[in-house]
A = this chain, B = another copy of it.
Amino acid sequence: MEIIDGNQVAAEIVAELKAEVAGTAGRKPCIALVRVGDDPASISYVKKKEKTAADIGIESRLIFPPVTITQDELCALIDTLNADATVDGILVQSPLPKGINEVAVFRRIAAEKDVDGFHTLNLGKLAQEDETGFVACTPAGIMELLQRAKVSLSGKHVVVLGRSLIVGKPAALLAVQRKQWANATVTICHSQTKDLPAITRQADVLIAAIGKAEFVTADMVKPGVVVIDVGVNRVPDATKKTGYRLTGDVHFPSVSPLCAKITPVPGGVGPMTVAMLMKNTVKAFRQNRAS
């Protein structure tokens, strides 16, 4: 059994992006990081993104409107960033305060600056296998992890557990694409699936993104499976200072011995999301300069 080390793969990607940016003449790529209010988790996420951008040589434009900002004001702010030719990517940190329509805000971001890959047009491009679009960071990170772990999906049966818009569906659409490393037979299953273990046991590659702590148990996988665990769940744990521990959607102790490869939680898919956000930003920069 081999552990797929997300921290290491993310570091490789960051190093590659750094080299690419160092090699470009003129202005550097720029990402606008919009954080509304002072939610502690959001502060920490945005700091991490800012730091990684700095490591690569990407400029961060930090915009921290107060929690009292209105929908119209936020949209006007996005319009300004959309119109600014020196801004390549725009990230609006989720969650937004109550009273703000998150979907409307995400759709307001110009599709060509939507480095989070949440825009309707980018989702459509994913289905169309149009490489000019941006893929959401978590599913893009999953594919990158698999590829760098030398797991080709071609001809394999990929089972995706979960049908969310930011993980399950895009991961399924990526895996079924007619291209190298993809080309899989794909099953999407979810909370309403009957006899789930019979389905997941068919998986050559199992992508668990159902949001239930340690949901996937040893009886649900076949020996030799590759498991990508997307879950990040807090489980009460009195032995920890915080009172909880982080766990994935997979019961690691019993499942991992059966796996050919598996991602741990933390340290698997998690670290990939910021790296993929940066990769999307450099791509947006490249396309912005070419247009």
Chain A contact residues, CB within 8 Å of chain B: 119-128, 130, 154-157, 163, 165, 169-170, 172-173, 176, 178, 183, 185-190, 192-194, 199
Flag if B194 contacts A185 (CB, 8 Å). Answer: yes
Flag if B185 contacts A186 (CB, 8 Å). Answer: no
Q: Which 10 A-B pairs have the closest CB atoms?
A: A124-B124, A120-B124, A123-B124, A187-B187, A185-B193, A185-B189, A123-B127, A186-B188, A155-B194, A183-B192
Q: For residue A130, which residues in chain B have a CB less than 8 angstroms away from its CB?
A: 120
Alpha-carbon distance A124/B121, docked complex (angstroms): 6
Flag if B122 contacts A193 (CB, 8 Å). Answer: no
Flag if B190 contacts A188 (CB, 8 Å). Answer: no
Flag if B173 contacts A199 (CB, 8 Å). Answer: no
Q: For residue A120, which residues in chain B have a CB less than 8 angstroms away from its CB?
A: 121, 124-125, 128, 130
Q: For residue A124, which residues in chain B have a CB less than 8 angstroms away from its CB?
A: 119-125, 127
Flag if A169 contacts B173 (CB, 8 Å). Answer: yes
Q: For residue A187, which residues in chain B have a CB less than 8 angstroms away from its CB?
A: 185-188
Known A121-B121, A155-B192, A155-B194; further 8 A-B contacts with Cβ < 8 A: A126-B127, A127-B127, A127-B173, A157-B194, A163-B178, A185-B192, A185-B194, A185-B199
CB nearest neighbor in B for A199:
B185
Alpha-carbon distance A135/B163, docked complex (angstroms): 19
Report 27 cross-chain contacts, Cβ distance below 8 Å, ordered by A residue.
Answer: A120-B128, A121-B121, A122-B124, A123-B123, A123-B124, A123-B127, A123-B128, A124-B125, A127-B127, A127-B169, A127-B173, A155-B193, A156-B194, A157-B194, A163-B176, A163-B178, A172-B172, A172-B188, A176-B188, A176-B190, A185-B188, A185-B189, A185-B192, A185-B193, A185-B194, A186-B188, A187-B187
Q: For residue A121, which residues in chain B have a CB less than 8 angstroms away from its CB?
A: 120-121, 124
Best-surrounded residue of A122, A193, A199 (most CB of chain B within 10 A): A193
Contact of A185 among B126, B155, B190 (CB under 8 A): B190
Q: For residue A125, which residues in chain B have a CB less than 8 angstroms away from its CB?
A: 120, 124
User: Do A192 and B154 form a contact, CB below 8 Å, given A163-B178, A199-B185?
Assistant: yes
CB nearest neighbor in B for A187:
B187
Q: For residue A122, which residues in chain B have a CB less than 8 angstroms away from its CB?
A: 124
CB nearest neighbor in B for A175:
B188
Alpha-carbon distance A185/B172, docked complex (angstroms): 12
